[in-house]
Amino acid sequence: MKNLLITTVFASVLSFGALAQTSTTSPLPAPKADADKNAPLPGANSFTEGQAKSRLEANGYSNVTGLKKDENGVWKGSAMKGSAKVTVSVDYRGNIVGQ
């Protein structure tokens, strides 16, 4: 009985440290409330096509098609925003511009 109690206390202490840890990494940067005023910004874009599409979809765009990275490192394509077809851009900072 004493061994069971000691084992339980030991296991609890070890698992407490694991509960206190949190992950600080994210597969995609969090959407910004305010996009940069000059977006889309040129730069070395590390987003893959799939990540750019996922970012657009997470921000209310659907039917994202034709994404291509231009010479400035900006992903450009078309998508639906509500019932309107728009041209979209995702820059290296994750800023989204829909026109």
Q: Flag whether 9 is in a domain.
A: no
Q: Flag whether 78 is in a domain.
A: yes
36 phi, psi to nearest 5 deg: -55, 140
pLDDT of residue 11: 53
Q: How many domains does the chain have?
A: 1
Total residue count of the chain as it appears in this document: 99
**Residue located via tokens 């698992």:** 15
pLDDT of residue 83: 96
Q: Flag whether 2 is in a domain.
A: no
Q: Flag whether 56 is in a domain.
A: yes
Strand order in the sheet with 96-98: 62-69, 75-81, 84-90, 96-98
CB 40 within 8 A of CB 89: yes
User: In this structure, what token pair is assigned to residue 58?
Assistant: 């997470």
Q: Flag whether 88 is in a domain.
A: yes
Q: Which amino acid is at 53?
A: K
- pLDDT tens sequence across 10-62: 555 445 455 444 444 445 555 544 557 888 888 888 899 999 999 999 999 99
Q: Which long-range contacts (CB under 8 A, 24 or more apart) does 3-10 make?
A: none
Q: Flag whether 19 is in a domain.
A: no
- Would the pLDDT of 4 be above 80? no
- pLDDT tens sequence across 50-83: 999 999 999 999 999 999 999 999 999 999 999 9
